[in-house]
Amino acid sequence: MSDRHDTIRAIEWRDDRLYLLDQRLLPHRLEYLACGTAPAVAEAIRKMVVRGAPAIGIAAAYGVVLAARDAHAVDPAGWRSAMELDLRLLESARPTAVNLKWALERMRAVMQQIEKDPEARLLQEARRIHEEDVRANRRMGELGAELIGERCAVLTHCNAGSLATGGFGTALGVIRAAFSAGRIERVYADETRPWLQGARLTAWELVQDGIPVTLLVEGAAAWLMARGLVEWVIVGADRIAANGDVANKIGTYSAAVNARRHGVKFMVVAPLSTIDPETPDGHSIPIEERPQEEILELAGQPLTAAGATAWNPSFDVTPAELIDAIVTERGVILNPDRKKIGALFQREGDCCNDQE
Ligand code: MRU
């Protein structure tokens, strides 16, 4: 695939610190925020400087490197316990994306094996997590693109692109690969109220990479489908439960209900680090509720009558029965259920076949 359709990277480790592309400022300003401590990384995750499930996990992994550096400087013998508070800060930064917990568990496992100064070894592991995510995205891109038959238009929700991952993207990775292969002619992007990830991030990302994008309010998505304008809905995930239920950005569930009503196929693209075998089903997924101001205000200006309140769940759960395909780096699961998700974890290495 030509690099022309893959130019954006939101997370960089350089000069001994973490640089995050500040997604609160896009598309107007392209600025990187430097984080030199673990609490700064936790704050960046909480305030959505960096967002998207895999990107949160990667940022937190680099946050562990910073925590270990500071802890070792203060207490060379007891650095593990000295960094516990920082680890908890990182862990609790956002609740729904399981990649955060997954990345921290992986870093904790490495911490147990280190005898001397931990920084170099932990940095190596964080870099591995980062690089593996990009490789997984490229593999999912190939697998997902194969599912798209005739050249068509697709709808996506939120931002599941390079900005939300180590690079290339999950849903947008499939879109990048399928566009390069001539299978996608246009991407429709839900604006994604209230934080506007679709309008501010997905549209920007696709324009940067030369992929035609048309924005719509998510209330228009059912009508887009009724008009026969899209063949697939392609989204990412924040957590996939053991039975195949998928938590993703609020509005994903309505997109799935509408897709089924109109015979449009529904694809979820997510690495194994987003699947949580310990969460039995969608009811058990913690759903983040964000501040009411995200709905009641726009750019600091009130949008509604003083005294009105808002309900702001940041995610919803799409039941497995509404999903046609879950694409992972280890293979595609058609019509997901508990048995097929379980079998995916038994398999070795990469595979691209459905398990039916
Ligand atoms: O609140 P956000 O912007 O972090 O939510 C992000 C999403 O819901 C994405 O669709 C999901 O994390 C998949 S990203 C590859």
- For residue 4, what pLDDT is reported? 74
Q: Is 314 in the pocket of ligand 1 (CB under 6 A)?
A: yes
State the closest ligand 1 atom to the C-alpha of 290, by its place in the atom list counted from 1: 1
Residues comprising the chain, all counted:
356
Instruction: Give the phi and the psi of residue 97 in degrees, each rounded to 5.
Output: -70, 115
List, by residue number, the catalytic residues.
238
Angle of the 38-46 helix axis to the 53-74 helix axis, nearest 10: 160
> By three-state DSSP, how is residue 241 classified?
strand
What stretches of the chain show up as alpha helix (H) in DSSP?
38-46, 53-74, 79-82, 84-91, 98-113, 119-147, 171-180, 203-208, 221-226, 252-262, 293-296, 338-346
Q: Rounded distance, CA 106 to CA 166, Å?
A: 16
Ligand 1 mean position, distance from CA 257 (Å)? 19
Task: Decide whether 3-133 matches 141-346 in CATH topology.
Answer: no
Ligand 1 mean position, distance from CA 22 (Å)? 15
The domain spans of the chain are 3-133, 141-346
Mean pLDDT across the chain: 96
CA-nearest residue for atom 6, ligand 1, is 52
Task: Characterize 300-311 residue by residue with b for buried, 16 or more Cβ atoms within 10 angstroms of its Cβ, and e for exposed.
Answer: eeeeeeeeeeee
- For residue 8, what pLDDT is reported? 87
- For the chain, list residues with pLDDT below 70: 1-2, 348-356
State the closest ligand 1 atom to the C-alpha of 270, by its place in the atom list counted from 1: 15
- For residue 2, what pLDDT is reported? 54
pTM summary value: 0.96
Instruction: Kindly report the number of other CB atoms within 10 A of residue 14's CB atom.
Output: 9
DSSP letter at 198 equals: I
Q: Rounded distance, CA 99 to CA 349, Å?
A: 20
Ligand 1 mean position, distance from CA 228 (Å)? 27
Q: Which CATH superfamily hosts domain 141-346?
A: Translation initiation factor eif-2b; domain 2 (3.40.50.10470)
Q: Which CATH number among 1.10.275.10, 1.20.120.420, 1.20.120.550, 3.50.50.60 corresponds to the domain 3-133?
A: 1.20.120.420
Q: Is 94 in the pocket of ligand 1 (CB under 6 A)?
A: no
